[in-house]
């Protein structure tokens, strides 16, 4: 697996980001979709990674710095060809490792509440994430679940 910083302007990455956004819209109303667009993913407080297997895009993920010791997982998505092959686990391991390197004390995320998000909930729980109140600029929303994890 080749992990690259950036690649945001790659046609394959753009297509996966569009697929991600459209999928989120199919499960939640537009005001409850918090996926970042390309310009937001290029912000200096966001690091974006693309994961490649034999030159094929396997997944994407980002880490946004909310505060000096608090990061947020953003735009985590596995390509359809790589579902149930451990890519999401590797993405999450990489992002948690980066949070450790940055000396974050807390790592949080927002995800959906619909049944389609159950596999993500289970994965996050396996890594020690627990439900929490909204953080950052988020507000209570029936379509959003907030999770956080203390980083050792």
pLDDT at 19: 85
pLDDT at 37: 78
Please name the residue ranges forming H helices in the chain.
11-27, 38-41, 87-101, 118-126
What is the model's pTM? 0.91
Q: Using CA atoms, how far apart are residues 43 and 79, in angstroms rounded to an integer?
A: 23
User: What number of CA atoms fall less than 13 Å from residue 101's CA on the CB side?
Assistant: 7
Q: Using CA atoms, how far apart are residues 78 and 12, in angstroms rounded to an integer?
A: 12
How large is the C-alpha radius of gyration of the chain?
A: 14
pLDDT digits (tens, 9 = 90+) for 36-68: 778 889 999 999 999 999 999 999 999 999 999
């Amino acid at each position: 697996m080749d992990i690259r910083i950036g690649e945001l302007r790659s046609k394959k990455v753009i297509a996966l980001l569009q697929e991600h956004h459209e999928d989120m819209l199919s499960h939640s109303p537009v005001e409850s979709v918090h996926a970042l667009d390309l310009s937001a993913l290029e912000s200096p407080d966001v690091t974006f990674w693309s994961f490649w297997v034999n030159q094929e895009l396997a997944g994407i993920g980002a880490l946004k710095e909310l505060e000096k010791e608090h990061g947020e997982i953003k735009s985590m998505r596995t390509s359809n060809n790589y579902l149930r092959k451990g890519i999401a686990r590797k993405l999450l391991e990489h992002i948690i490792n980066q949070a450790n390197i940055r000396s974050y004390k807390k790592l949080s995320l927002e995800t959906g509440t619909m049944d389609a998000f159950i596999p993500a909930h289970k994965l996050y729980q396996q890594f020690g994430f627990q439900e929490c109140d909204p953080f950052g600029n988020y507000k209570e929303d029936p379509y959003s679940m907030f999770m956080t994890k203390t980083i050792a």
